[in-house]
Amino acid sequence: MTTGATIWLTGLPSAGKTTIAYELAGRLREEGHRVEVLDGDEIREFLSSGLGFSREDRDTNVQRIGFLAELLSRNGVKALVPVIAPYADSREAVRGRHQTGGTPYIEVHVATPVEVCSVRDVKGLYAKQAAGEISGLTGVDDPYEEPESPDLRIESHTQTVQESAAALHALLTERGLA
């Protein structure tokens, strides 16, 4: 059985987390790994519907995703988790759950500057926030606590998606997970 692991990609909205996760997922599947991408938007729709964006609701969402990721990981699946998870204590609680269970956990900071994210604006969130249609946008008018010592920092604005996924794959290989 292949070794499972949780690979959590944290970063601002439109940083490139999901795009990198899907690129890596394809590569890992080609190598014969069992892989699931736990997309934050899908989780909010199906597992965390009803939650808002208060700090408490964001923490609940992250803990639910962390539980699911750890469950998959301990059963031999590479769980790729492109989820903002803006608060350091929430991410640390997820890491702790993995450590307690002896499940590999990799934290990746997709460190794209807010100026680049707002230009990409994949979902139109930055435009809506600028127009006053929404508030509480992570990294703009709601906090984002950058990881102090992630396992990997990806500067997605300075490299291609393929290069970002390759850097992450190299780390997984180095740790015996790919």
User: Annotated binding site, which residues?
Assistant: 11-18
Q: Per residue in 80-100, is it b (16+ CB within 10 Å) or e — as a string? A: bbbbbbbbeebbeebbebbee
What tokens does 38 get?
Answer: 């736990």
Angstrom CA distances, 122 to 31, 119, 150, stand at 30, 9, 25
Binding-site residues for ATP? 11-18
The DSSP code sequence of 113-158 is -HHHHHHH-TTSHHHHHHTTS----BTTTB-----SS-SEEE-GGG
